[in-house]
Structure formats: C-alpha cells, structure tokens
Chains A and B, each alone.
Chain A
Amino acid sequence: MVALLFILFAGMAIGCAISMVAQRNPLYGAISLIGVFISLACLYVTLAAPFIAAVQVIVYAGAIMVLVVFVIMLLNVEEEEWPTRMRSLVPIAVVLAAVLFAEAAFIIYFVQASPSTPTRNISDVGLTSSIGAGLFTTYLLPFEITSILLLMAVVGAMTLARTGGLLPPRAVVVPGHQVLARDVLDPRAVNDPEPIHARTTAEVEKILGIEGVPHVSDEDLSERSVRIL
C-alpha cells in the first residue's frame, strides 16, 4: 500500500520536475513546481511526517509560489526564447548532471550496502508537539537566529520598496488635471483645504511657492493613494 503510494507520488514529483525544467512558458513551469511541492508533501505524509507535509504545502505551495505566479501574471512574461549564447554551457551541464547522478547512485549503493541498524523506535517523531518542543528547547538558538534572519529580510524588503524615501505618503501629484487640497500638499498649511487646480508638479510648486512636492508617475499610480479634493 505504502509502496504503491510512494511510486505514485514519486512519479508525480519527478514528472512535474522534468516538466518544470522543460516548459518554455514560465507560468507552466511555476505550475509544475507547485505539483512537485504537493507531491513531496504527500511523500512526507507516507513517511509519517504530517507536520512537515502541512508546512510544505502552506509555505511553499500556498505562499511562495502564489507570489511567483502573481509576479508572472503581473509582468505577463512571454514564452522564453532558446538562448543561443548559452549553447557553450551545454557540455558543462552534462558533466554536472553526470556528477549528480553519480552522487545519487553512490548514496543508494551506500544505504543498501551498509548493515541495517535499528533506529530508535520513537512514535512521536514528526508530530507537531515533538517538533515544537524540539524547536523551543534543543534547537532554540538556531531557531531564533533563523527568525532574526527572516525579520531582517522583511525589513530589507520594506526599505528597498520605499523608493520615495521621506515623501509624505499623502501628498502626491499625478500627471493630468486635478484639484487638490492645499493642506495635503503644503506642510505649512495646516487645516487649509482650499482647492488648488494643477496639471503637473511644477505647477503646484509655482502656485504654492514651495519646493519638493512629490510627484508620481503613471506606473506608480496603483501603488499609492491619491487624495483629490
């Protein structure tokens, strides 16, 4: 029964992996990768590691790949051209693939040749409680270090995304005719909602006699809120 399931899901994983590399369309590649992740999760279940399986689906298939698909959809990436200048790399790739296969064969040989030692028979390995206990006692330091690493990544991503630097997020001028409240654009005019008619940033600056009214291009429009009176 388990062997049958293993063959099924391992076959699915390998098939999806091959398809992922072979597909010219990036979105098909992404879908194949999702297939790989899900088959792997099923394999984890047959290996009595349900927690890892669930996390695999939630984190990889459910979060990371959604972002990848999202980006592909947004950019509307065309089918990949066959890169001619990469042809010279083919021999190297063949050699590397051979090395990889040799490694895999060696591991299989090693596992089968070594005498089978009885592993400790613990029934709660792979269960949520044992993993949680392990993370917060034995492996607390690596766990905390990983958390801090992730936190740094989040902060870094936010810093990179805030291209506007110190722009007040409310005061933006969009190309095209618009009516804006004075207090939105001018930091000195507190609570002065007197309307200003303008088409460009330069016009606003001239009317208000200030410098540095932030300007938003058409591309950024969806990213920011525009206050129009």
Chain B
Amino acid sequence: MDDLIHVAWLLAGILVAFTVVMTMVAYTVLAERRVLGFIQGRLGPNRVGPGGFLQPLADLLKFIFKEDIVPDKSTRFVYFLAPVIATTAALMTIVVYPFGPEIHLPIINKTIPLVVTRFDVALLYVLGVTSVGVYGIALAGWSSNNKYSLMGGLRSSAQMISYELALGLGLIGVILQSGTLDLYSIVEQQSGHLGVTGWNLIWAQPLGFLIYLIAAIAETNRVPFDLPEAETELVAGFHTEYSAMKFALFFLAEYVNMFTVSMLATTLFLGGWNGPFVHQLPWLGVFYFFGKVILFLFLYIWLRGTLPRFRFDQLMNFGWKFLVPLAIINIFLTATLQWSGALDYVNKFLKTSVGWGG
C-alpha cells in the first residue's frame, strides 16, 4: 500500500513537472520567434491570439495535420526509433531538478520539497541520459538514406562526444566543491546571504560556469555551434527527411534540451531556487528558479540573433584544445583551493567581517 502511494506521488510529480516544462518549452519557441523578430527589426508571429499568444497551439495543430512522409529507401525501424530516442532522452532528466524548496501544501497538510525524486547520483544520471540522446540524432541521420542527413548525423555525433567531455569536466569543479551529486543538496548549499552570495557562480566556479555554458550550447546544437543542421551546407542536417509530427519531436527535443541545460546551469551555478526572502515565502523560490532559467533561455535566443556559425575544424579545435584543457585547469584550481581551505577562509571572512552569513 505504501508502495502504491509512493508511486502515485511520483507519477503526480512527474505529471506536474512534465506539464510545467512542456508549457514553458512551447512558449520558449514563441519567445524565440518574437525576440528574433525584435532583434532583426521585424514583428514575428503576432496574429494567433493576443500578441501571438496562441501560436504554439497553432503550430502543434499544424504539425499533427501535416502529411507524414517516409522516404522509400530509409531503414524503417531506425527511422521511427530515432525521434523517439531523442525526445525520451530529452524529457527523462526533468525529474531530478529541484524546482523549489520545501513547501507546505495547505489542503492535504503535507510538506514536500518541489522535486520529483532525489537520489544519490542525480548529476551523473543527467549526464548519462544526455549522452544517450546522441543516438537520436546519429540514427536519424543514418536511417534517412540521405547524404545531408548522414553528414548532419556524423557532425553532431562528433560534436556532442567532444563537448560532452568538456561539459562533464567543467562540472567536476562543482562536485568537488559541494561533495555530493544530489542536486537538491547542491542547491541547499548555495543559500548564502540573502540567498545570493552563496551562488557557485560568484565565488567558487566562475571558470566552471563559463566552460559549462559554452559546452552546453554546443551540446544542444544551438548557434554558434549548430553545424549539425547548418542550413547553408546541409539543407537541414539530420532531420532533413523528417516531416510532420516526427520533425516536431526533434524540434521538441531540441527545445527541451535547451530548457534542461538551462535548469542544470541554474541549479549548479546560480543557486537554483535561492534568492532573497525564500525562507519566509517558499513559493518565491519557484519564481526565482524559473526566472533564472528564462534568463538563460534569453541568452540562447540572443546568441542566435547575433552570432555567426563556427567552421567545423574551428569547432573541434576549440573544444579539444581550449575547453578541455581549461576544464582540467579548473579542476586543478578547485582541488587546490579546496585542499588548502582557502575558500573556507573566504567564507569565514565574509561571515565575520562583512556579516554575510550562510
């Protein structure tokens, strides 16, 4: 019986997290089109509903009712499997992110932390599931039986493997610092004065944050690292041969990935739900969390509006010869600081002299 109640709670949590994330992802797409429109001196979609507010719904309907074309010479099974893998892998990670602190639910009188599940290796789980997501793109490229798709798939596999390394190494600094892989604990450790001074970004991991940010953009195949779908060279890259809902799944996977990557950045570097007055009003934490995530999403869109694309050799050189060594330097620095106790000293100094308490 207890088991069943536990499972029911989990399912309810997953449902809530899924709904929230999907809604926000849908509006990220709209926001991207409007912001890009603003950057490029045009309006963007503003016809469907007030200010284009119902545009995501219209897009969804259009994707559902479009004709679904499957290339004759494609490898059927893999061709159908690829978008499923991409979307599943993208969505699977949302269960570990803490959306807010412990919150008291008034009607059923229960205090729960706003995270679907907490477990010992949450961060590794995120990295593992993300690494499986590569298959979606690689297999899509291979099974379409199209040279542009294949090139896009190969490029993206190479790119994602390369930058996964820098991404993982960039995160090790945070792990060294917090001594845990549980995201909820990592957020709790970043409370600091007014919920701001404890952020990993500020004192502990500015370099790690930079590495993570760049590698994450490459991992999600976004501008300026969007070589897998470079329109000018590859038509549309790995999803050239996909249409209707199958294309929509890839589209969805890309934006969900963007969203989860932003959530991870918020959780690890920007203090998650920490912010002023969260202890008094726990619900504020949810707004802080999504506010920070939205900042990241805006950064993504901003970059897309302003930066040109890398060349492939530049991309590889940058990843292997700059980011990876930089990440190793960051690990070395963090370990040294941690071992010598310098950061503890800074914290103590801040606490006693400036009055910033943890």
Q: Which residues of A contact B (CB under 8 A)?
A: 1, 27-28, 31, 34, 38, 41, 50-51, 53-55, 57-58, 61-63, 66-67, 69-70, 73-74, 127-129, 225
Instruction: Take A127-B120, A128-B181 as given contacts and tell me if A66 and B142 are in contact as well, using a CB distance cutoff of 8 Å.
Output: no
B128 contacts A by Cβ under 8 Å: yes
Instruction: Take A27-B78, A54-B124, A73-B138 as given contacts and tell me if A62 and B132 are in contact as well, using a CB distance cutoff of 8 Å.
Output: yes
Instruction: Take A1-B3, A128-B181 as given contacts and tell me if A70 and B120 are in contact as well, using a CB distance cutoff of 8 Å.
Output: no
- Bound-complex Cα distance A70 to B181 (A): 30
- Bound-complex Cα distance A69 to B150 (A): 12
B127–A69 CB distance below 8 A: no
Nearest B residue to A55, CB-CB: B124
B142–A73 CB distance below 8 A: yes
12 pairs of residues in contact across A and B, judged by CB atoms under 8 Å:
A50-B119, A51-B120, A54-B127, A57-B128, A57-B129, A57-B131, A58-B124, A69-B138, A69-B139, A70-B154, A70-B157, A73-B153
> In the complex, which residues of chain A have a beta carbon less than 8 angstroms from the beta carbon of B127?
54, 58, 62
> In the complex, which residues of chain A have a beta carbon less than 8 angstroms from the beta carbon of B134?
62, 66
B202 contacts A by Cβ under 8 Å: no
> In the complex, which residues of chain B have a beta carbon less than 8 angstroms from the beta carbon of A57?
128-129, 131-132
> In the complex, which residues of chain B have a beta carbon less than 8 angstroms from the beta carbon of A28?
77-78
Nearest A residue to B181, CB-CB: A128
Minimal beta-carbon separation of A123 from chain B (angstroms): 11
B121–A61 CB distance below 8 A: no
> In the complex, which residues of chain A have a beta carbon less than 8 angstroms from the beta carbon of B142?
27, 69, 73
Rank and list the top 10 A-B pairs by shortest CB-CB distance, nearest first. A62-B131, A54-B124, A57-B128, A58-B128, A54-B121, A50-B121, A73-B142, A127-B120, A54-B128, A1-B3
> In the complex, which residues of chain B have a beta carbon less than 8 angstroms from the beta carbon of A41?
128
- Bound-complex Cα distance A128 to B121 (A): 7
B138-150: contact bitstring with A at CB < 8 Å (1 yes, 0 no)?
1101100000001
- Bound-complex Cα distance A61 to B130 (A): 11
> In the complex, which residues of chain A have a beta carbon less than 8 angstroms from the beta carbon of B150?
73
Minimal beta-carbon separation of A133 from chain B (angstroms): 12
Nearest B residue to A225, CB-CB: B313
Minimal beta-carbon separation of A154 from chain B (angstroms): 13
Residue among A53, A58, A129, A225 with most chain B CB within 10 A: A58
B57 contacts A by Cβ under 8 Å: no
B161–A66 CB distance below 8 A: yes
> In the complex, which residues of chain A have a beta carbon less than 8 angstroms from the beta carbon of B3?
1
B129–A69 CB distance below 8 A: no
- Bound-complex Cα distance A34 to B134 (A): 12
A54–B125 CB distance below 8 A: yes
Minimal beta-carbon separation of A2 from chain B (angstroms): 9
Nearest A residue to B179, CB-CB: A129
> In the complex, which residues of chain B have a beta carbon less than 8 angstroms from the beta carbon of A128?
120-121, 124, 180-181
> In the complex, which residues of chain A have a beta carbon less than 8 angstroms from the beta carbon of B130?
62
Minimal beta-carbon separation of B115 from chain A (angstroms): 16
Minimal beta-carbon separation of A62 from chain B (angstroms): 3
- Bound-complex Cα distance A50 to B180 (A): 14
B135 contacts A by Cβ under 8 Å: yes
B132–A38 CB distance below 8 A: yes
> In the complex, which residues of chain B have a beta carbon less than 8 angstroms from the beta carbon of A51?
120-121, 124
> In the complex, which residues of chain B have a beta carbon less than 8 angstroms from the beta carbon of A74?
154
Minimal beta-carbon separation of B155 from chain A (angstroms): 11
B161–A63 CB distance below 8 A: yes
> In the complex, which residues of chain A have a beta carbon less than 8 angstroms from the beta carbon of B119?
50
Instruction: Take A50-B119, A73-B141, A73-B150 as given contacts and tell me if A66 and B124 are in contact as well, using a CB distance cutoff of 8 Å.
Output: no
- Bound-complex Cα distance A13 to B281 (A): 47
- Bound-complex Cα distance A62 to B138 (A): 12
- Bound-complex Cα distance A62 to B219 (A): 13
- Bound-complex Cα distance A61 to B135 (A): 10
- Bound-complex Cα distance A28 to B78 (A): 8
Nearest B residue to A53, CB-CB: B121
Contacts beyond the supplied A61-B132, A66-B135, A66-B161: 15 A-B pairs with Cβ under 8 Å? A27-B78, A34-B135, A50-B121, A51-B120, A51-B121, A55-B124, A57-B132, A58-B127, A58-B131, A66-B138, A69-B142, A73-B138, A73-B150, A128-B180, A225-B313
- Bound-complex Cα distance A225 to B181 (A): 41
Interface residues of B in 144-172 (CB under 8 A from A): 150, 153-154, 157-158, 161, 164
- Bound-complex Cα distance A129 to B124 (A): 13
- Bound-complex Cα distance A31 to B79 (A): 13
- Bound-complex Cα distance A63 to B157 (A): 10
- Bound-complex Cα distance A100 to B235 (A): 52
A50–B128 CB distance below 8 A: no
Nearest A residue to B182, CB-CB: A128
Minimal beta-carbon separation of A78 from chain B (angstroms): 12
> In the complex, which residues of chain A have a beta carbon less than 8 angstroms from the beta carbon of B139?
31, 69
Nearest B residue to A124, CB-CB: B120
- Bound-complex Cα distance A55 to B124 (A): 7
> In the complex, which residues of chain B have a beta carbon less than 8 angstroms from the beta carbon of A55?
124
Instruction: Take A27-B78, A128-B121, A225-B313 as given contacts and tell me if A61 and B128 are in contact as well, using a CB distance cutoff of 8 Å.
Output: yes
> In the complex, which residues of chain B have a beta carbon less than 8 angstroms from the beta carbon of A73?
138, 141-142, 150, 153-154, 157
- Bound-complex Cα distance A31 to B77 (A): 11
> In the complex, which residues of chain B have a beta carbon less than 8 angstroms from the beta carbon of A69?
135, 138-139, 142, 157
> In the complex, which residues of chain A have a beta carbon less than 8 angstroms from the beta carbon of B135?
31, 34, 66, 69
